[in-house]
Amino acid sequence: MRFGIIAAGQGSRLEQEGCQCPKPLVRLAGVPLLQRLIEQFLQCDAERIAVIINTHQPQTERLLDSLARVYPIDVVMKDTPSSMHSFHALSPYLVSGEPNAGANDRFCVTTVDTVFNPVAFAGYVEAFRRSRTDGVMGVTTYVDDEKPLYVSVDDAMRITGFHDVQGTAGSGSGQAFRHVSAGIYGLTGRALQTLERCIGSGQSRMRAFQRQLVADGLCLQAYDMGKVIDIDHVNDIAKAESLLQITNE
Per-position pLDDT tens, the chain of length 249: 999 999 998 777 887 888 888 999 999 989 999 999 999 999 999 999 999 999 998 999 999 999 999 999 999 999 999 999 999 999 999 998 665 556 679 999 999 999 999 999 999 999 999 999 999 999 999 988 888 999 999 999 999 999 998 766 554 444 578 999 999 999 999 999 999 999 999 999 999 999 999 999 999 999 999 999 999 999 999 999 999 887 665
- Say how far apart CA 127 and CA 107 lie, in whole Å: 13
The per-residue pLDDT for 203 is 94
The per-residue pLDDT for 70 is 95
The per-residue pLDDT for 173 is 46
The per-residue pLDDT for 249 is 56
pTM to 2 decimals?
A: 0.92
The per-residue pLDDT for 168 is 61
C-alpha torsion sign, points 15, 16, 20, 25: negative
The per-residue pLDDT for 172 is 43
DSSP letter (8 states) at residue 124: H
42 and 134 in contact (C-beta within 8 Å)? Answer: no
